[in-house]
Amino acid sequence: MMQRILLFIFKTASATFVFAQTSNQRPVSSEDLEYYLLQSFLVADSKQRIALNHIGIQGRFEESGFLVTAVLEGYPAHAAGIDRGDVILSADNEPFHPVHSFNLERNGSGDFVRITSEHQLRIQRGDSSTELSLAPVYENLFDSYRSATANSVQEFSAGNKVIGYIRFWALSRSTNDIINYQELIRNLDHCDGIIFDLRNSFGFLDSQHLDLVFNDKSSYFSVTEPPNSGFNFAQISPVLEFANYRKPIALLLNEDTRGGPELFAYQLDKLERVVSLGNSTPGQIGNFALNNGNDGASIDYLSAEELLIDGNEFEGIGVNPEIEVQFEYENTTRGDPQYDAAINTLLGII
């Protein structure tokens, strides 16, 4: 059975926009950690989100092991000191797998069984390796990414200025999450500038996300499917009653900033007080299809090649940052050159 999900911005109260779709990527199977992230965002009911034991990482398989590409703040990997660029070699002396290593059992309903025991992970960082002991959390990834966003918030002094920081691991259109975003921004309103970190970010965009920063909706982008379907993004939701943040923002992007966060970045880049840094985003604003067939569960990505944002192609193009700053995932040196560049850029304009 295939369930097609309208992603990000293409469904309003008054109309549904159906656009030409092609699938040019391999399906994401339930063997992949990515599947559980996508699934948790795409299901209609929060009770359908699949909980699993995990340690709060993103990554990909390399010849040497599992390369960590991102670490969620406040989760076991972060607490244990695992960092971006580390390679996880093994778990309990077996080859590491982000799903299988912690989810060996299912209950009678087919759900993963919660575990509380610690696991021994061998980590390689550059030319050295170490062993760490940590216990996973049992949670769906929607909730994990929401919590990690709140956990990421910080502020610090730089000279006589105060800079805030939020890593938006996920964007959600739910009322509760919009309220949470308001609270995060409100708590940093006194800062002279804020870093919005959208690297490795995923999720759904709502016009009320933009209301957190924009004075009004007049510049919000339009969405068009030739020949004659379209709408203005300002129409998605009522105006958010909120004292928007009006000071400089540094925006961090990379090749794993996808979907709603890409459009968030695209719109923010229209403001002169916003500077984007990092790497180009992939331009993935299409649909997903959930498949539950005899061969197992999987998710297909359906690209939106005909869809135009402000009259221009976006799929496969994405957002190019104003300031290109390289930071390869394989980089094992301590420090974050993109983050450092964001701080220096803000200090130059606040």
Mean pLDDT, the chain, whole residue set = 92
Mean pLDDT of all residues in 45-74: 98
pLDDT of residue 4: 38
pLDDT of residue 8: 52
CATH superfamily of this structure's domain 51-139? PDZ domain (2.30.42.10)
pLDDT of residue 169: 98
pLDDT of residue 24: 55
pLDDT of residue 293: 75
Spell out the SS3 assignment of the chain: CEEEECCCCCECCCCECCCCCECCCCCEECCCHHHHHHHHHHCCCHHHCCCEEECCEEEEEECCEEEEEEECCCCHHHHHCCCCCCEEEEECCEECCCCCCCCCCECCCCCECCCCCCEEEEEEECCEEEEEEECCEEECHHHHHHHHHHHHCEEEEECCEEEEEEECCEECCCHHHHHHHHHHHHHCCCCCEEEEECCCCEECCCHHHHHCCCCCCCCCCEEEECCCEEEEHHHCCCCCCCCCCCCCEEEEECCCCCCHHHHHHHHHCCCCCEEEEECCCCCCCCEEEEEEECCEEEEEEEECCCCEECCEECCCCCCCCCEECCCCCCCCCCCCHHHHHHHHHHHHHC
Higher pLDDT, 121 or 334: 121
Q: Using a cut of 0.85, tell me whether the model's pTM lies above it.
A: yes
Question: pLDDT tens digit string along 301-311?
Answer: 999 999 999 99
pLDDT of residue 333: 83
Higher pLDDT, 239 or 95: 95
Mean pLDDT of all residues in 2-6: 40
21 has pLDDT over 70 = no
9 band by pLDDT with thresholds 50, 70 and 90: very low
Domain chopping of the chain, boundaries: 51-139, 141-349
Question: pLDDT tens digit string along 166-178?
Answer: 999 999 999 999 9
At the top level of CATH, the class of 141-349 is: alpha beta
Q: What percent of the chain has pLDDT over 90?
A: 88
pLDDT of residue 228: 78
31 has pLDDT over 90 = yes
pLDDT of residue 334: 81
pLDDT of residue 177: 96
Question: Which stretch of 143-152, 256-265, 313-322, 324-333 has the lowest confidence by average pLDDT?
Answer: 324-333
